[in-house]
Chains A and B, each alone.
Chain A
Amino acid sequence: MKKAAWIFSFLIVVLAGDRLMGWYFKSQVSGSQFRYSKLYRGDATADIMVIGNSRGLNIYLPSIEALTSKKAISLCYNGMPGDLASALTRDYVDRYPSVKTVIIELCMVEMPDEQLLPSFVSYMQYSTRIDSLIRSKFYQTWFTSKISHLYQYNNEVFQRAIYYKNRSDNDWTSDRSMSEKLVKEVGRYGMEFHADANQLQHIKTITDYCRSRSIEVKLVIAPFFPGFVVKNIDLLKSKTEMITGCKVYDYSTVLQNSTSFSDYLHMNVKGCKEFVQILDKDGFLTPAENTAQIPY
């Protein structure tokens, strides 16, 4: 009897502690300046929204805001897969219907990290879309997070939310240059695009959803390091344009200075600023006068 009482007490302590710490972490996440906390807190109103993977982070928000005087927000994350991007974008559009333009960095089609989704378990309670995505693809994670609230915070996304608790994540971009050795070795590296139909379908879901709400969608391919070989980039462009009916703006070779990059795939802050200046000069950041005229 006494043993049973101890076991019962133990379970109560474990559960109470789990819920108490879970509640504390939840309050920390919801009060954070991290992009997804702002999104679900109702604090992410913007004219321009950017979605993509780490290359999408190169569409540098401080420069956009300085050049266009428009408010911009990024929902990009390293390795962002299409299904998650679709859920986040639709959540954003539902909550902030006044957004004028959604920019999609298209390379997320080619480099999705399918293991990223469980990390968004910290935001599952705010989004039925994320909840059902995790439930369908990572049932064990979904189920465990229902039992243990602490487990919802065992991931990198939560750690980033804490890191950005009291600081802006607007300039989340690497600020380093490549070594001479890596610059010289560029010919040894490259990648091949495959234009995965499943990932492209998620892009179509995003574009259709936005355009049905008269929100302009722009698809862009951000610059790669000069000399870094990307095979089948035209395949990605043509397939995307065929499936979505949207023009793809290819800026993959627009920057030719090696000092503008932090690695073969990403620009540094200098490169990001140059890239956004080019986008602005090209009118890319200026919303169409009448979104109803955007061709399907």
Chain B
Amino acid sequence: MPKFISGAIAVITVYTLTNIAWIYFRSGSLGDSSFKTANQLLGNILSFEDFTWNGVFNKFQIIKGVIVIAILLIVEISNPRFHWNQTQVFKPVLRVALFAGLIWLIALFGTFSSNSFIYFQF
């Protein structure tokens, strides 16, 4: 099997299992009915009922999430070529630009509400 396919399968598997684990983890706060609720949620997800873009309630949160994850991926993918961490040490102008860019991104996409469930911010 080509390496990129096995790598993709590994990523998808870990991602899916982590998401499933989070459902059980989060439902822990619901007391005695925790497992029942988590199972019901999983059942609803797997039924693919109303699985449409129209059925998504927080579309804008999702768009924001996609943009932020895309930025992280761009940095990750371009890092082997540009070595951002080392390069910025020797190029102060680049450092200023990168740090300023980070601050602008935080101002525009940061989550500041203190009552958000902490794991939703990752």
Contact = CB atoms under 8 A, between A and B. Distances in A.
Interface of A: 6, 9-10, 13-14, 17-18, 21, 115, 140-141, 144, 148, 150-151, 153-154, 156, 159-160, 174-176, 179, 181
B108 A17 contact: no
B90 to A, nearest CB: 14
B60 interface: yes
Contacts of B97: 13
Given A13-B97, A14-B104, A176 B54 contact: yes
Nearest to A176: B54
A17 B100 contact: yes
Interface in B35-66: 49-50, 52, 54-55, 60-61, 63-64
Contacts of B104: 14, 17-18, 21, 150
B96 interface: yes
Contacts, number: 50
B49 A181 contact: yes
Interface string B78-96: 0000000000000010001
Chain A contact surface mostly: helix
A156 B61 contact: yes
Nearest to B102: A14
B109 interface: yes
B28 interface: no
Interface of B: 49-50, 52, 54-55, 60-61, 63-64, 92, 96-97, 99-100, 103-104, 107-110, 112-113
17 contacts: A6-B92, A14-B103, A14-B104, A17-B104, A18-B104, A18-B107, A150-B108, A151-B108, A153-B108, A154-B109, A154-B112, A159-B63, A159-B64, A175-B54, A176-B55, A179-B50, A181-B49
A21 B55 CA distance: 33
Contacts of B100: 10, 13-14, 17
Contacts of B107: 18, 148, 150-151, 154
Nearest to A178: B50
B113 A115 contact: yes
A38 B40 CA distance: 44
A34 to B, nearest CB: 13
A174 B99 CA distance: 41
A180 to B, nearest CB: 10
Given A10-B99, A21-B108, 15 more contacts: A6-B96, A10-B96, A13-B100, A14-B100, A14-B103, A140-B112, A141-B112, A150-B104, A151-B108, A153-B108, A159-B60, A174-B54, A176-B50, A179-B49, A181-B49
Closest 5 CB pairs of A and B: A150-B107, A156-B60, A159-B60, A151-B107, A148-B107
Contacts of B92: 6
